Structure 1
Amino acid sequence: MKPGLQRLAALLAFCAAAGALTACGGGGGGGGGAFLPLAATSSQQPAAAADDTIVDSASVAGLCAAPRVGIDPGTGTVFPDRSGTTVDEKRWVRSWIDETYLWFDEVPTNLASKDYSTPITWFAVLKTPRLTASGRPKDRFHFTQDTAAYRALSQDGVDVGYGLELAFLSASPPRDVRVAYTEPASPAAQAGIVRGTRVVEVDGIDVANGSDTTKLNAGLAPAREGEAHTFKLQAPDGTERTLSLAAARVTRVPVQNVKTIATASGPVGYMQFNDHLATAEAGLIAAVNQLQGAGIIDLVIDMRYNGGGLLDVASELAAMVSAGSATNGAVFERLLFNSKNPFRLTTAQTTLPFHTASLGFSTPAGQALPRLGLSRVTVLAGPDTCSASESVINSLRGVGVAVSLVGGATCGKPYGFLPQDNCGTTYFAIQFQGVNNIGFGDYGDGFTPTCAVADDFDHALGDPAEARLAAALSLRSSGACPAPGSSKADVTQRKSEAQGAAYLVRPPLRENRLVAAPLAPQR
């Protein structure tokens, strides 16, 4: 494994896909989505058990009901697991939360582990119940993931699916599920499926009004490589066809559609940036070199579907966009932990700079990064723009770069965490808040767009006629936002917002924030 990838065991954060869908999944990947809301849980909390004593989490770490054996492929060392019980695992969860959770003092104290059958269900309730200013849960980001699956996606950009991202424009009947984009060379791309395609049926079940959500979800979110399902699809031109898609191991291409758009005032660069994966480092460097060679005077970064990823890649991108005079010696992001300072970190250890050289994720380390030297940039954004993507916006604004947002409000996730494996499950609980060079990081309800523009599924991403890109080009030339219209995209957007529908619904690992360099606590 390359040195850059060995450093991936670090800080990760996640933005849940908000909306009426109550479980993450869909898209091209692994989790199972839910069309219909799950049954509401009781608001009555059980009394705390007398034996839920909080201990030093290290004393019960690796005590597993089903210990792993052999060599851990992720670390190359023997698994640390020892023979234990489910009670041991739940005790570790509670103690780890008390030690490291950002809002440890807001976790309800009248919960009892005996009322939860597994460590995962116990972990799920150990979070703050408080709300943001808009009334959303402050912590919408608590989740767990199988450790092997987490490593496969975060390090290599590989998951199992069809290679398409689905947008749920209407989550309740009549449902409206569209293709947002496809991954190159994936089963979906090879089948000629394009953006805007409507999913009409899955295995013969009507998507719009079908009641068998279990089968619908199974088809939309395949669990295994080789698993095949039949789809009836309606292309943007209205033609329909039925075809079978088999899930495969899909390698995501995080940087796509890099191009130069001619305008009256000069060339404007565009890039579609979907994931802050390790493989994005090489793609972003190549994109910036291409745009620099084209002599662009402005840049539009399309991050409307970018849920986040490596924070160091976000820092590399922000540095490449801006001028050295703005970022030299400046803070890209500083991490603020709870009052216990649980990892015994110094200020220097919690400060991420604007990187000026490649880190070695997918290109040789130590190479000087190209710089566009821009004082302004436009980001195409929406509710799926999250975490590390929001850090790009916040960090650039923190050093005086003018960032205009076109589209919708971002997800609102200035928080992060250190993913922690225990007994084959990796736990993700918020452990820090990120702030920029001027100390700002309070955007729990997201960044408001400069120009609110509906997502346009009638045009390809990168097409200058696509509504959000067209608005961005208009904004830079006239300084004004286009007037709200009555186009099909606007009508669909209003309907979706009225229903509280989600757009992309993805596994949590697709919506995260990672820091490459390991933390080295000073004890």
Structure 2
Amino acid sequence: MLLAACGGGGGGGADASRPPSSADYGGVCTPEGQKLFVRSYLDEVYLWYDEIVNLNPANYSSAPDYFRALLVPKDRYSDGSGSYSGFEPTSLAATATAAAGTALKLTAGDSVPEYKTVRSPGGRTAGYVRVDDFLTGAQDQLITAFNYLKAQSGVQDLVLDLRFNGGGYLYSAQAAASMVTAPAAEGRVFERLQFNNKRQAESERNTFYFTNKVQFAERQYPAGTMLPQLSLPRVYVLSSALTCSASESVINSLRGIDVEVIVVGEEATCGKPFGFRARPNCGITYYAVEFQGYNAKGFGDYQAGFTPQCRVTDNETIEPGTANDPLLAGALFHADTNSCPAGTATGAPSKASLLSQGLATGVTAGRSASRPASASQPGVNGRLLLPTATP
């Protein structure tokens, strides 16, 4: 959707045979025109459009204020305050649309800052992959990481470190989950997107499936490239309250096809099964929740987030993925014992206990960054982005 020039008329005027739409008011940048755009836009795309309480637009000084006032109380994610940045993914500009949230990282190589093998205290070999977002380029980096793990002999467990992952493109999360599984998962539902009841046709054609091939190419691996699949029945996910949106889709989708997902962390994930597209108008970009995602079992109601099975307190002074990383040590303890480490009242192991376990680190195949800046932010705007501009 292109940003309309402000001032002057809209999109050619409304057709008298139909009710006015947001397209008719797009680019009408008077205060009244912008509010008419907001109300029409929400009525068309908002997941909970039928729960909106009608309000007098004259009582609000700006269109973003009016937009926020119209949102239903349960909506924690829609936003109408950001200026349109014009950001489009480099290699998917023609097919992808951006959604709400400040980009955590756009630098090449930062999405997957580390991957390696580690050895547990009990002698098990595990792959460790840290994924800080699912933005453009993450899929290529993930394939490189999984190719490395696939080439190692005797990898018994996988630890996906998503503690800083605020989300990103759904196609990238789809590829990540598909590489955990076996080729037999091909064609099973990864996530179904449910739009409002005015948009049933879009709901019917917006289903993502587990796959053994690259579906949406980035720069390094073309469409049709076979994905390296680890064929694991169990995966450990290191999480935090920053783990959001597309990263939560990885957890939910794998559980939907009966892959055991052991979540290790201090608190529940952010709880965002919803998604949206950017809709710019008159210099403001609006993000209204448009759909909810459901796994193969029809589950998508995790607004309270995913609670860790192993409650382990993270330590911000310790480098993630290193020998003293409490979350990684907790996952490897479970891999050895099939139980969570005993410890404090919060369920976390004591620091002395972790140090005594003597976590052995194997080859670090790729590493570029420590804790990202997002780790110190008070919150995160999750993303759940679609790889198609027109559903």
TM-score of the two chains, using structure 2 as the length reference: 0.79
> Aligned in 2, Cα 1:388/1:507: closer, same or farther, shift over 3 Å?
closer
Matches within 5 A, 1:410-489: 410-485=269-344
3-state DSSP of counterpart to 2:247: helix
Instruction: Spell out, residue by residue over 1:59-108, the C-alpha distance to the aligned partner (whole angstroms, 9 max, x if none).
Output: 11232x3xxxxxxxxxxxxxxxxxxx221111111111012111112222
Matches within 5 A, 1:121-132: 121-129=65-73
User: Over aligned residue pairs, what C-alpha RMSD do you find?
Assistant: 2.7
Partner of 2:359: none
Aligned residues: 334
Instruction: Spell out, residue by residue over 1:260-287, the C-alpha distance to the aligned partner (whole angstroms, 9 max, x if none).
Output: 0023343101111101011101110010
Q: For the residues of structure 2 that align with 1:314 and 1:461, how far apart are their CA atoms?
A: 21
Partner of 2:5: none
Partner of 1:141: 77
Q: For the residues of structure 2 that align with 1:154 and 1:120, how far apart are their CA atoms?
A: 31
Partner of 1:512: 383
Partner of 1:376: 234
Deviation at 1:350, TM superposition (A): 1.4
Instruction: Decide whether the 8 Å contact of 2:158 with 2:235 is kept in 1.
Output: yes
More moved, 386-395 vs 356-365:
356-365
Instruction: Spell out, residue by residue over 1:434-490, the C-alpha distance to the aligned partner (whole angstroms, 9 max, x if none).
Output: 000111101110111111111112321101321111110001111111123289x99
Extract unaligned runs of 5+ from structure 2. Answer: 2-18, 94-103, 351-374
Instruction: Decide whether the 8 Å contact of 1:61 with 1:92 is kept in 2.
Output: yes
> Aligned in 2, Cα 1:379/1:154: closer, same or farther, shift over 3 Å?
farther
Partner of 1:329: 187
Extract unaligned runs of 5+ from structure 1. Answer: 1-8, 10-53, 66-84, 130-137, 157-164, 166-182, 184-248, 492-501
> Aligned in 2, Cα 1:504/1:368: closer, same or farther, shift over 3 Å?
same
Q: Is 1:280 aligned to 2:138, yes or no?
A: yes
Instruction: Decide whether the 8 Å contact of 2:166 with 2:380 is kept in 1.
Output: no
TM-score of the two chains, using structure 1 as the length reference: 0.60
Matched AA of 2:84: T
Taking only the aligned residue pairs, the percentage that are identical comes to 40
Q: For the residues of structure 2 that align with 1:346 and 1:140, how far apart are their CA atoms?
A: 22
Matched AA of 2:255: R
Instruction: Decide whether the 8 Å contact of 1:154 with 1:309 is kept in 2.
Output: no
Q: Is 1:94 aligned to 2:39, yes or no?
A: yes
Instruction: Spell out, residue by residue over 1:19-75, the C-alpha distance to the aligned partner (whole angstroms, 9 max, x if none).
Output: xxxxxxxxxxxxxxxxxxxxxxxxxxxxxxxxxxx8322211232x3xxxxxxxxxx
> Aligned in 2, Cα 1:89/1:409: closer, same or farther, shift over 3 Å?
same
Deviation at 1:418, TM superposition (A): 2.5
Q: For the residues of structure 2 that align with 1:114 and 1:257, how far apart are their CA atoms?
A: 52
Matches within 5 A, 1:286-325: 286-295=144-153, 296-325=155-184
3-state DSSP of counterpart to 1:276: coil
Matched AA of 1:62: G
Instruction: Decide whether the 8 Å contact of 2:128 with 2:158 is kept in 1.
Output: yes
Q: For the residues of structure 1 that align with 2:285 and 2:91, how far apart are their CA atoms?
A: 13
> Aligned in 2, Cα 1:281/1:97: closer, same or farther, shift over 3 Å?
same
Matched AA of 2:48: W
Instruction: Decide whether the 8 Å contact of 1:458 with 1:466 is kept in 2.
Output: no
Matches within 5 A, 1:104-503: 104-109=49-54, 111-129=55-73, 138-144=74-80, 145-148=82-85, 150-151=87-88, 253-263=110-120, 264-295=122-153, 296-325=155-184, 327-341=185-199, 344-345=201-202, 347=204, 349-358=205-214, 359-363=216-220, 364-407=222-265, 408-485=267-344
Instruction: Spell out, residue by residue over 1:91-143, the C-alpha distance to the aligned partner (whole angstroms, 9 max, x if none).
Output: 1111110121111122222x2222222221211112112xxxxxxxx211011
